[in-house]
Amino acid sequence: MITVEHLTRTYGSHTAVDDVSFTARPGRVTGFLGPNGAGKSTTMRVLVGLTPATSGTATVHGVRFRDLPNPGREVGVLLDASAQHAGRTGREVLTIAQRTLGLPADRVDAMLERVSLTRTEADRRVRNYSLGMRQRLGIAVALIGEPASLVLDEPANGLDPAGIRWMRDLLREYADGGGTVLLSSHLLHEIEVVADDIVVIGGGRIVASGTKAELLAGSGTVVRTRDLAALGAALAAAGVEAHPLDGGYRVDADAEQVGRVALAAGVALSELRAADGAGLEEMFLELTAETQREGVAA
C-alpha cells in the first residue's frame, strides 16, 4: 500500500505540492492525473526519496522509502526511462540491478522475456534504444525485485499502440496478483481503461479522487444545442447547475430531467447523453480547467 498524507513541498515562495493526501491500495491500479506542473512528478519524487517533503509524509507499506532495508525488493520505480546509462547494454543495466538487489542471475533473462526485449536488443547499447525500448527496460528494472508496489511516471511514453496494450495488460496482471500500482499519465484513455481508482491533481492540490466508477458516475449529463443562452436560462430557472462544455453544458442532473427542462423551454437539442459516456477526458479537463497551462492568458 502507498499512503500520502498531508504532503507539502515548497521551493522558496512556490508551493509545488499543497497538502496532498491519497492512498493507492493493493490489488488496484491507481491513476494519478493532472496537467503539466500540477505536482504529480514532485509527489512521486518525494515518495521514492529523491526529494524531501517540506511537511507531511509519503510511505510504502507504512515505511518511508529511505527507511526500507532493500527498497528495490519492496517498490519498483520508473520515473524517467531516459535516465539509464547510455553506454551500457540493456543486459548490463539489468545485471547491475540484479546484483545490487542480491537476486539470482537468471532473473535477468526472465525480465528480458517478460518485457519482450530480444537477445539482440538486450546486447545493444542503451544509447541506440528507442524511447519505447527504454520504457520496456525501465519496467524490467522496476519489476526485477518482485516488489509489492510499482510507482510509474508516464510509462507508456514512446510506446506504439501494441506496446501500450502490452503495458496495460502487464499492469492489470500485476495488480490482479495483489500488487499496488501508482501510475501517472497524460494518456487519459489508457488511464480510463486500466485504472481502478483515480486521483486528479491541479495546481498542487487534489481536486478529485475515488474509484473510476464513482467519478464518472458523478459527472452528470452532457447536453448540446445551438441556443446555449436559452438552455442555460432554462436550466438555471429549474435550479439545475450547468457547467459550460464545448458548445453545450455538463449538467448535474440525469438526462431525463435535462430533456424535460429543454422541452418545456422549447429548446431543440443536438445532443443529450450521460456524461460518463464522454469518458475521463471531459471530467479531467473540467476539474483542472483553472490550472491548464493552455487556458491561461498571456
Q: Has residue 278 got a pLDDT over 60?
A: no
Task: Name the burial class of residue 163, with classes exposed (0-12), middle (13-18) and buried (19+) by CB atoms within 10 angstroms of its CB.
Answer: middle
Examine the domain organization and report whether 243 and 172 are in the same domain. no
Structural domains of the chain, count: 2
| Model pTM score | 0.78
Examine the domain organization and report whether 80 and 151 are in the same domain. yes
- The reply to whether 87 falls in a domain is yes
DSSP state of 171: H
Whole-angstrom distance, CA of residue 252 vs CA of residue 233: 15
Which CATH number goes with the domain that contains 54? Answer: 3.40.50.300
Examine the domain organization and report whether 266 and 167 are in the same domain. no
Structural domain span for residue 168: 2-210
The pLDDT of residue 152:
95
Domain's final residue, options 162, 182, 210: 210
Domain's final residue, options 210, 237, 257: 210
- The reply to whether 128 falls in a domain is yes
Residue 223 belongs to what H/E stretch? Answer: strand 221-224
Q: Has residue 296 got a pLDDT over 60?
A: no
Domain's final residue, options 180, 210, 240: 210
Q: Has residue 292 got a pLDDT over 70?
A: no
Share of the chain above pLDDT 90, in %: 66
Examine the domain organization and report whether 88 and 118 are in the same domain. yes
Find the mean pLDDT for residues 64-83: 91
- The reply to whether 206 falls in a domain is yes
- The reply to whether 290 falls in a domain is no
CA distances from 290 to 162, 201, 297 (A): 34, 11, 11
The pLDDT of residue 293:
54
What's phi and psi for 282, nearest 5 deg? -65, -40
Examine the domain organization and report whether 47 and 152 are in the same domain. yes
Tell me which of 39-43, 145-149, 154-158 is least confident.
154-158
Whole-angstrom distance, CA of residue 147 vs CA of residue 169: 18
The pLDDT of residue 177:
95
- The reply to whether 123 falls in a domain is yes
Average pLDDT of the chain is 89
The pLDDT of residue 155:
87
Q: Has residue 4 got a pLDDT over 90?
A: yes
Are residues 17 and 7 in contact, defined by beta-carbon separation less than 8 angstroms?
yes
Q: Has residue 281 got a pLDDT over 90?
A: no
Whole-angstrom distance, CA of residue 120 vs CA of residue 61: 38
**pLDDT confidence of 297, banded at 50, 70, 90?**
very low
Examine the domain organization and report whether 118 and 264 are in the same domain. no
Share of the chain above pLDDT 70, in %: 91
Q: Has residue 298 got a pLDDT over 50?
A: no
Task: Name the burial class of residue 262, with classes exposed (0-12), middle (13-18) and buried (19+) by CB atoms within 10 angstroms of its CB.
Answer: buried
Whole-angstrom distance, CA of residue 139 vs CA of residue 132: 11
Find the mean pLDDT for residues 112-127: 95
- The reply to whether 75 falls in a domain is yes
Examine the domain organization and report whether 188 and 224 are in the same domain. no
Find the mean pLDDT for residues 188-214: 86
Are residues 135 and 81 in contact, defined by beta-carbon separation less than 8 angstroms?
yes
The pLDDT of residue 109:
96
Q: Has residue 198 got a pLDDT over 50?
A: yes
Examine the domain organization and report whether 252 and 206 are in the same domain. no
Examine the domain organization and report whether 231 and 116 are in the same domain. no
Q: What pLDDT digit, counting tens, does each position of 161-189 carry?
A: 888 888 889 999 999 999 999 999 876 77
- The reply to whether 297 falls in a domain is no
- The reply to whether 298 falls in a domain is no
Q: What pLDDT digit, counting tens, does each position of 228-259 carry?
A: 999 999 999 999 988 887 788 888 888 899 99
Find the mean pLDDT for residues 258-275: 92
DSSP state of 81: G
**pLDDT confidence of 279, banded at 50, 70, 90?**
low
Residue whose C-alpha is closest to residue 90's, from 71, 115, 69, 70: 115
Examine the domain organization and report whether 131 and 266 are in the same domain. no
What's phi and psi for 184, nearest 5 deg? -95, 135
Examine the domain organization and report whether 147 and 236 are in the same domain. no
Find the mean pLDDT for residues 22-43: 93
Type of residue numbered 245: L
Find the mean pLDDT for residues 70-93: 92
Examine the domain organization and report whether 150 and 272 are in the same domain. no
CA 16 from chain center: how many Å? 17
Find the mean pLDDT for residues 201-209: 90
Find the mean pLDDT for residues 190-218: 85
